[in-house]
Amino acid sequence: MSIQLSDCSYGKSSVRVKKLIRKDHHHEIVEMKVTVLCEGDFQATYESGDNRAILPADTQKNMIYIFAKTHPLNSIESFALALSAHFLEENAQISRVTVEVDQPLWQAIPVGGQAYPFACQRAGSEEWCCRVERNRDGLVLRSGVQQLQILKTTHSGFANFKRDAYTTLKDTNDRMLETVLTAWWTYGDMVEDFVQTRQEVLRRLLETFATHDSLSVQHTLYAMGQAAMKAVAAIQHVQLEMPNLSNLAFDFSPFDLSDERDVFIVSSEPQGVVRGTLRRTNA
């Protein structure tokens, strides 16, 4: 019996970059967290310590900063596509590269009712993200959003579910629905403007969340994914994750106060987890 290395990879993770883009009348901040993972013919370095095929992770870090300098950063997708192409073009020993980019969002600070051109603030916890997986035969591009906290106060219920000896949950036809949305969509075809496409996908996801008469989180997740795919023909599939964050109405009955379900106990854990992927089919 012999022991062999079945697969291997290495790279540089969580490289933090912040770029100041000076426009004619205002400044913009683009922040990114970039991870690169390389696969290829690296067996010798694992088995015998021969490092001649290894492009140092520190060099990869430098490449990320140089590309941030020379690339217009009009979208994280175009940045990840350009960076991944460079790795394969300049390194014959690399057969596959994955580039992941997370982008925290910054927005101008309002001063006197107008966006101040030279100062900004973090736009909440929401992050844009993308992932490029590229080999010698082609690539897969995914875009997404994460840590997007959303809430609707009504038009949400959960009833007529399966019960057994352990069930204590009661039916409800009117509840608060809160989640932290993670959404990924995979492109079947490239688009000209990734930022505009992202904004359209997010608009469809959020409008559907807000207006859908929800019979469950699963019910709304499906409607959201369907709306996004109908709006953007270039998307091949959409993957959504929507944890069900609990907001429990406080019981005022012992205090002789009317129960109008307007004060809630916030509970971050435990939480329900709901995931789903919608794909286009030829049927």
Cβ atoms of 227 and 207 within 8 Å: the answer is yes
Counting residues of the chain whose pLDDT is more than 90, the rounded percentage is 85
Q: Which residue has the tokens 């688009």?
A: 191
Which tokens in the block code for residue 173?
């036809």
pLDDT at position 283 over 80: no
Q: How many helices (H) and strands (E) does the chain have?
A: 5, 10
Counting residues of the chain whose pLDDT is more than 70, the rounded percentage is 100
Question: Could you tell me the pTM of the whole model?
Answer: 0.92
Collapsed DSSP state (helix, strand, coil) of residue 74:
coil
Average pLDDT, the chain: 95
pLDDT of residue 236: 97
d(CA 152, CA 48): 58
Residues in the chain: 283
User: Could you tell me which of 38, 41, 37, 33 has the C-alpha nearest to residue 17?
Assistant: 33
Collapsed DSSP state (helix, strand, coil) of residue 136:
coil
More reliable by pLDDT, 247 or 241: 241
pLDDT in tens, 106-133: 999 999 999 999 999 999 999 999 999 9
pLDDT in tens, 211-220: 999 999 999 9
pLDDT at position 267 over 90: no
Q: Within the chain, where are the H helices?
A: 43-47, 57-70, 76-90, 194-211, 217-231
